[in-house]
Structure 1
Amino acid sequence: MLKLTQNAFFNGETSALFTAQIAEQTRQFHQQIEGYKPTPLVSLEQLAARLGVKAILVKDESFRFGLNAFKVLGGSYALGKQLAEHLGVDISEIDLKTVSEKLSEPLVFATATAGNHGTGVAWAAREMGQKAVVYMPKGSPQASVDRIKGLGAECIVTDVNYDDTVRIANQTAEENGWMLVQDTAWEGYEKIPTWISQGYMTMAVEAQEQVEELGIKPTHIMLQAGVGAMAGGILGYFADKLGAENFKTIIAEPRAADCIYRSGSSEQGGMVAVGGDLSSIMAGLACGEPNPVTWPILKQCSSFFASVEDKVSATGMRVLGNPLAGDTKVISGESGAVTLGLLYMLASREDYAEQRQQLGLDKDAVIMLFSTEGDTNPVRYRQIVWEGMLDTAN
C-alpha cells in the first residue's frame, strides 16, 4: 500500500531561490489582493492523541480566495511578475484591479493543468483583465473543466497525459505569441516555474506564524508532490527559516506517478521520469517528470520519500472529513489528503511499526501537513467519503 525510502542525498543545503525573505515578498503581493486572508491551521488534538503523537496541524487551503485550492497563490504571483516585467515596473506596483489600464490590449496566458493550477491561472487572469487558455490531460473531470470555463478561460481537454499536455500548451503558446505560465520547468524555461513555486511560499509564512502562536515547533513536515513545485517551495522556506536538520520532511506521491520517489531512490540522485497514463485519483499529483527548479531542494533537504496507492489518499479524505469528537472537520480532496492518509497508516497499523520508529512518529512528534484542496471534484469526493470507494479493507 505504501513504500518509504530514506533520502541518501540529504545534506541540508538551502536554496537562494526559496528563502524566508523571498517568501515575505510573495506574501506582501498576495496581501494586497482583495479577499486575502490566511487560511486556517487546524489542530487535530483528538486524532493526535489517538495516533500517539503530540500534535497534528493541517493547513486547510479549501478557503483560499474562495477557489477551494492553493494553486492560485503560484499562478497569481507568476502573472504579477510577468506583467511587471512586461511593463518594466516592480511587482509592488502591480495592482490586479488596475493593471489592465496600463496595457493597450489584454495579454493571453496559456497553461497545462490537472485542475487546480489552471483554475488559479484563469482566476488571476480574470482579476487582472487578461485572457487565459487552459489545456487539460485526457480523463480530466468535467467539474474541473466547468470551473475553469466559469472563470472566463478557454479550456481544452487533450487526448494525452499531463506531461504531453504541457508540451502541447508550450508549442501552442509559442505559435501564437502567448505567455506560458507553467509550474514545471525544462531547459530554457525556469524563470516562471520559479516564480510559481515562490508564490506557494505564502502558505508556509502563514503556517509558521500560526504555529508560533501555538508555542510549538514542527518536528515533521509532510508534503505531497506532483512535479514538486509546491513541495520545493514550502520545504525551501522551512529549511531556510528553521534549518533542514531540525525537522524531518516526508514527500508523498501517488504510486502511478512517483517520479520524485524514484529520483530519490536512484543511485546518483538524478531526475527520473515516469511514463504512461499516470492514472490516479490524485489528479493534481499525477505528473511523471520532476521540476528541475525544485528537485535540488527536495534532494538536499527531504528526509524521506513515499510512494502510496490511491487507497491511502482515500483514507485521508475519510479521516479528515469525519473527525473524532472535538476535532475540526477538514474537507480535503484526493490530492490534499494523501499526507494525512500516509500519517494515519504509518501511525495506526502494526505492519508499519518499523517505519514509524524510523520516522520518529512518537509522543513528541509535531506533524504539519498541507491540505492543498477541498472537494474540487464533488462527485468523486462523495464516492470516496460516502460510498467507500477505495476502501483499504478491500
Structure 2
Amino acid sequence: MSIFSLKMEIADNRHYNGQLSSLFTIDEAEKARAFHQKVEGYQPTPLQSLDCLAKEIGVGKILVKDESHRFDLCAFKMLGGAYAIARLLCDEYQLDINVFDFDTLKNDIKEKMTFATATDGNHGRGVAWAANKLGQNAVVYMPKGSADERVNNIRALGAECIVTDMNYDDTVRLAIKTAEECGWKIVQDTAWEGYTKIPTWIMQGYTTLAAEAVDQMKIHAVAKPTHVFLQAGVGALAGGVLGYLCDLYGAENLHSVIIEPDQADCIYRSGISADGGMVNVGGDMATIMVGLACGEPNPLGWPVLRDCATQFVSCQDSVAALGMRVLGNPLGDDPRVISGESGAVGAGLLVAAYYHPDREALMAKMGLNKDSVVLLINTEGDTDPVHYREVVWQGKHPTL
C-alpha cells in the first residue's frame, strides 16, 4: 500500500490530572444498562475483532464496538435519549427507574408530552424513537445541510422535523428558545447553566455500550484495552464512556485519544488552551463527520476529557473517509463493518498514522506497539446511504 500524508494534529493533554468523575461511574453504567436490557428488542451490539488489520499495522488487537446494530436505528444515540426520557418521566410521575416499563407508562400518561431537541441526525432519531415508544410527541430541529435520509428517518417515527438555515450550535439555541415558549421538554445532549440533569442522564445512557464492550472483551481473551479512541462532537459520548472506563481501569492505565474533525475541533482547541477552559468554534463547520460538527464543548463532558484524556486529535475529513473504506473492505477474514463518517474516524486515524511518512513518530506518540489493544467505537452505520456510497464506491475525499 502507498505511503500517504493526511492531516492529523496530535496533541498531548497538558491539563491531565487523572481525577475521576463522580457522574460517570461503574454503578451509574450498570443502572443504565439494567434499564436498556428491559427495552423490547434489546441485544448487545457486536464487538468485532479485526485481527488481520491489527497484524498489518503492528498492534496486538483492534476491537470495534459496532453500534450500527443498535436496535434498528443504525447508531448508538438512542441509548442516551431513551434513558434520559425514562428518567425524566420517572421524576415527573414519581416512579422508580429500576422498575420502569415502557408499555405500562404509555398507558398511565394522561396528557401527551412533547420532547424537543436539536440534532445532526442520530440523537434526534433516538429521541423520536423513545417518544414514539411512549406514544408522546417529538419535535426535532436539524442544522442546514442535513441529509434527506436522516430527516426522513426522524419523520418516519412520527416526529416533526424542522431543518433550519443555521449551524448546529445556533440550531440548539433555537430549539431551546422554542421549547421554552411552547412548554415542551428539551432533551439535549449538551449542558448549560441551569440545564445539567437531562444531559447527565443522556451521557450515562451512553455508558451501556462501554459496559457491554468490557464484558465482550472476555470472549476475545482480552483483560482490558491499552488504548481507547473516542470521537467527539460536544464530547458527550467521549466524556461518558471515558469517565466509566477510567473508573473501571484507572485513568493512568488507559491511553485515551479524543478525535475531532478539523472544521469543528472545539475539544482539541480546549485541550491545547493555556488554562484548560472551553474554547468554542464558530462558522459552518463544514465536515463530512456531521455527527461531530459541533463547535461548543459540553460542560459536563469537558471536565472528564480535560482531567483524564491522554491526547486530542484534529484531523481532516479524508481520515474518516479512509476509515469507512477500511472497515467496509476488510483484510483477510476480518468481519466487515459498515461505518458512517463519524463512526469510522478512529479506524481511519490508526491506518492513516501507519501509512504516513512519519509512521514511527506518530505510532510512538500514540504509544502504539505490538502489545497494544485498541478499542474503537463505530458510533453509526450508513445513516446517510447516498454519501456512504459516494465515499466507499466513488472515492469521495480521497487518500491520495
- Give the shorter-chain TM-score range: over 0.9
Mapped to 2, the partners of 1:348 and 1:360 lie a distance apart of 16
Runs of 4+ in 1 over 3 A off after TM superposition: none
Of 6-15 and 376-385, more deviation after overlay is shown by 6-15
**Equivalent residue, structure 1, for 2:348:** 341
1:91 to 94, 97, 100: 97
Within a 5 Å distance, the mapping from 1:375-386 to structure 2 comes to 375-386=382-393
The AA in structure 1 aligned to 2:214 is Q
Pairwise CA distance, 1:349: 2.0
Please give the secondary structure, in 1, of the residue aligned with 2:103: coil
Please give the secondary structure, in 2, of the residue aligned with 1:16: coil
Mapped to 2, the partners of 1:24 and 1:191 lie a distance apart of 18
The AA in structure 1 aligned to 2:217 is V
**Equivalent residue, structure 2, for 1:316:** 323
**Equivalent residue, structure 2, for 1:226:** 233
Please say if 1:328 is aligned against 2:335: yes
Please say if 1:208 is aligned against 2:214: yes
2:205 to 165, 180, 199: 199
Pairwise CA distance, 1:215: 2.4
**Equivalent residue, structure 2, for 1:286:** 293
**Equivalent residue, structure 2, for 1:305:** 312
Please give the secondary structure, in 2, of the residue aligned with 1:253: strand
Same amino acid, percent of matched pairs: 58
Pairwise CA distance, 1:214: 2.2
2:119 to 102, 108, 113: 113
Mapped to 1, the partners of 2:228 and 2:357 lie a distance apart of 22
Pairwise CA distance, 1:339: 0.7
Please say if 1:296 is aligned against 2:303: yes
Count of residue pairs the alignment pairs up: 393
Mapped to 1, the partners of 2:232 and 2:102 lie a distance apart of 29
**Equivalent residue, structure 1, for 2:3:** none
Within a 5 Å distance, the mapping from 1:141-290 to structure 2 comes to 141-216=147-222, 217-290=224-297
Please give the secondary structure, in 2, of the residue aligned with 1:305: strand
Pairwise CA distance, 1:335: 0.5
**Equivalent residue, structure 1, for 2:368:** 361
**Equivalent residue, structure 2, for 1:81:** 87
1:89-146 CA distance string (max 9 Å, x none): 1212321122122221111000000000000000011011111000000110111000
The AA in structure 1 aligned to 2:352 is M
Mapped to 2, the partners of 1:322 and 1:46 lie a distance apart of 12
**Equivalent residue, structure 1, for 2:381:** 374
Please give the secondary structure, in 2, of the residue aligned with 1:76: helix
Cα contact 1:262–1:272 (8 A) shared by 2: yes
Pairwise CA distance, 1:380: 0.1
Mapped to 1, the partners of 2:357 and 2:46 lie a distance apart of 32
Pairwise CA distance, 1:300: 0.6
Mapped to 2, the partners of 1:97 and 1:340 lie a distance apart of 39
Mapped to 2, the partners of 1:282 and 1:349 lie a distance apart of 22
Of 211-220 and 331-340, more deviation after overlay is shown by 211-220
Mapped to 2, the partners of 1:97 and 1:349 lie a distance apart of 53
Mapped to 2, the partners of 1:197 and 1:238 lie a distance apart of 13
Please say if 1:140 is aligned against 2:146: yes
1:221-244 CA distance string (max 9 Å, x none): 000000000000100010000111
Mapped to 2, the partners of 1:86 and 1:181 lie a distance apart of 14
Please give the secondary structure, in 2, of the residue aligned with 1:257: coil
**Equivalent residue, structure 1, for 2:53:** 47
Task: Give the gaps of 5 or more residues in structure 1.
Answer: none
Please give the secondary structure, in 2, of the residue aligned with 1:374: coil
Of 206-215 and 26-35, more deviation after overlay is shown by 206-215
Cα contact 1:100–1:106 (8 A) shared by 2: no
1:279-319 CA distance string (max 9 Å, x none): 11000000000000110010011000000100000000000
